């Protein structure tokens, strides 16, 4: 059984007294309070609000990367293409291919998007693990 305390212990074991420990704990509390049965679109900006802007961007970024990693895997990174005010999900594999080749194939039109880095944004969703925390 996965408990909140076990996850917090792991976070503090990994980060010690660094700001990332508190950031991860605050994000964990947030994830346990929201209704994850509905599709969520958690942005970097919304995570900044969760921590009340109390920490710098570099600390928040490393904490989010940690929460997406194998150690805790509380968040899943997702990507979307903003196209004429439409948001289209981009599979990670497509984005990896685009980064390697410099071009992204539009998932609906099939057209090449050469300036995709300017139009693709990251967001996060709670991982399935969050639902099982007691």
Rg (CA), the chain: 17
Domain count within the chain: 2
Residues 9 and 70 in one domain: yes
Is residue 8 over pLDDT 80? yes
- Residues 61-109: pLDDT tens digits? 999 999 999 889 999 999 999 888 788 999 988 889 888 988 898 888 8
pTM for the whole structure? 0.87
Residues 52 and 105 in one domain: no
**Which pLDDT score is estimated for 87?**
87
- 47: number of Cβ within 10 Å: 21
Domain of 114, in residue numbers? 79-121
Rounded Cα–Cα distance for residues 55 and 64 (Å): 13
């Amino acid at each position: 059984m996965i408990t909140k305390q076990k996850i917090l212990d792991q976070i503090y074991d990994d980060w010690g007294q660094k700001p990332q420990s508190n950031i991860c704990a605050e994000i964990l509390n947030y994830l346990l309070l929201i209704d994850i049965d509905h599709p969520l679109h958690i942005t970097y900006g919304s995570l900044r609000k969760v921590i009340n802007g109390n920490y710098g961007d570099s600390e928040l970024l490393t904490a989010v990367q940690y929460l997406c990693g194998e150690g805790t895997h509380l968040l899943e990174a997702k990507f979307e293409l903003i196209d004429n005010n439409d948001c289209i999900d981009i599979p990670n594999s497509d984005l990896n291919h685009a980064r390697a080749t410099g071009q992204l194939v539009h998932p609906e039109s099939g057209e090449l998007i050469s300036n995709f880095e300017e139009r693709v944004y990251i967001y996060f969703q709670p991982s399935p693990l969050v639902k099982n925390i007691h």
